[in-house]
Amino acid sequence: MGRRLYVGNLPYETGETDLQNLFARAGTVETVKVMRDMATGRARGFAFVEMSTDEEAQKAINELNEFQLGGRGLTVNEARPKPERSGGFGGGGGGYGGGDSRRRSEPRW
């Protein structure tokens, strides 16, 4: 069990302080990161919360999964590692994406 948690289905107006206070019910919160759109700065509806121990992380999952916040049932579970990116469309060598491997090849909506 990891200490890093994924929190999904967040109301867009939810900030780091709101989550810090909510997850403090389950124990010591080390970090909170609400993911935001790079262009607009608007919250994307999910965040990552890191608890200080595995036990506190499990307690947070048990108590806060499906917790109602702003009329939405939160999804709280253990964060999975970011998947490895395959080359795919826009990567690497001057293909479809023009060679800029940092650009996304599909729309973000």
Q: Is 33 part of a structural domain of the chain?
A: yes
CATH number at residue 73: 3.30.70.330
Report the share of the chain in percent with pLDDT over 70: 76
- Once rounded to an integer, what is the mean pLDDT over residues 36-56? 94
Q: Is 85 part of a structural domain of the chain?
A: no
Q: Is 32 part of a structural domain of the chain?
A: yes
The predicted structure's pLDDT at residue 85: 76
Amino acid at 75: T
Q: For residue 70, what are the domain limits?
A: 4-78
Entry pTM: 0.74
Q: Is 62 part of a structural domain of the chain?
A: yes
Q: Is 109 part of a structural domain of the chain?
A: no
d(CA 14, CA 11): 6
The predicted structure's pLDDT at residue 103: 62
Q: Is 103 part of a structural domain of the chain?
A: no
Q: Is 63 part of a structural domain of the chain?
A: yes
Closest CA to 37 of 71, 7, 74, 12: 12
